[in-house]
Amino acid sequence: MEQLSNVQQSTTRQRTSGWLNGLIGVVIFSGSLPTTRLAVLEFDPVFLTVARASIAGLLALALLWLFRARRPAREQLLPLLVVALGVVVGFPLLTALALQYVTSAHSIVFVGLLPLATAVFGVLRGGERPRAAFWCFSILGSLLVVGYALAQGLSAAPLGDLLMLLAILVCGLGYAEGARLSRTLGGWQVICWALVLSLPVMLVLSGFCRPASFSGISSAAWICLGYVSLFSMLIGFVFWYRGLAQGGIAAVGQLQLLQPFFGLALAATLLHEQVSLGMLGVTVAVIFCVAGARRFSR
């Protein structure tokens, strides 16, 4: 009986640690869009993408060497490539391009679809058969986001909205593949190997895409580059994948629902962007739809 009680306590502590690590990861990710918005005011979006991946990749290489992490198996290389294309290249590049046309507060509404995109790709990759209610919530959430974008008028920034939707799709795929890999490869090792896998190309592109001069770059832009490189690209994923591994992908993954709220607060505080009641209302409605879809995903 005592041994059983100890096992239960250990399981409870592990799940609690998973929720805490996942929450830290979500808070870190919440600062990505506001800091990217500031960075693209002075850095080219392509250079920002390859530079942040290069910096994070070098740090990831050092971590893998320091902890003598085992190399991924051959069959894990293709999923790692999908993770790299989704969260190392695709999402950062597409959001950086989108934030040239829309505000970070506007883009955060689309982030409310990220848990749903992750769930959809998880369902497709895992071969599960969700109930009809799942698809009802999925379609309703998508219609809310599309309706919000159209309500702003076609002259608002249709290209920015399209880029954000594409960013959510590729990121959802990258999250789903990373979550599957974390079960066998390890939580933090997934993002580190994905970064190292893309490092040679990112370093070469950083050299080709670098500005002619860095003299006009402000300290704020450098700080933002440092944040998205160190925290958004590496440290946030260390906590995030560790949380998924400890607390369960389905359970801890729902913490992403808090990200739009954190992001809106940061956009209003750091960038003094206006967060309208309509924008907040759509975000809440999307979160409700995502929560319903996640509930009926099995």
pLDDT in tens, 120-131: 787 776 565 767
pLDDT tens sequence across 94-110: 988 988 888 777 777 78
Give dist(CA 258, CA 219) in Å, integer.
Answer: 30
Give dist(CA 29, CA 199) in Å, integer.
Answer: 21
User: Of the spans 47-61, 96-110, 182-196, which averages the highest pLDDT?
Assistant: 47-61
Contact present, 186 and 72 (Cβ < 8 Å) = no
Give the closest residue to 192 by CA, choosing from 242, 234, 244, 243.
Answer: 234
- Confidence (pLDDT) at 226: 96
Computed on alpha carbons and rounded to an integer, the radius of gyration of the chain in Å comes to 19
Give the closest residue to 80 by CA, choosing from 231, 168, 186.
Answer: 186
Give dist(CA 140, CA 288) in Å, integer.
Answer: 10
Q: Which residue has the higher pLDDT, 20 or 261?
A: 20
Residue 153: φ, ψ to 5°? 95, 145
- Confidence (pLDDT) at 86: 93
Alpha carbon 220 to chain centroid distance? 23
Give dist(CA 87, CA 95) in Å, integer.
Answer: 11
Give dist(CA 205, CA 89) in Å, integer.
Answer: 12
User: Of the spans 68-72, 153-157, 288-292, which averages the highest pLDDT?
Assistant: 68-72
Mean pLDDT, residues 147-156 taken together: 65
pLDDT tens sequence across 168-187: 999 989 888 887 888 788 87
Give dist(CA 2, CA 20) in Å, integer.
Answer: 27
- Is residue 54 pLDDT above 80, yes or no? yes
- Output the six-digit token pair for 143: 């219609």
- Is residue 19 pLDDT above 60, yes or no? yes
Q: How far is CA 70 from CA 52, 184, 187, 198, in A?
A: 25, 11, 13, 18
- Is residue 253 pLDDT above 60, yes or no? yes
Mean pLDDT, residues 7-22 taken together: 75
pLDDT band at residue 249 using 50, 70 and 90 as cut-offs: low
| Owner of token pair 């066998």 | 184
- Confidence (pLDDT) at 192: 95
Q: Which amino acid is at 143?
A: L
The answer to whether the pTM exceeds 0.95 is: no
Least confident of 7-11, 53-57, 252-256: 7-11
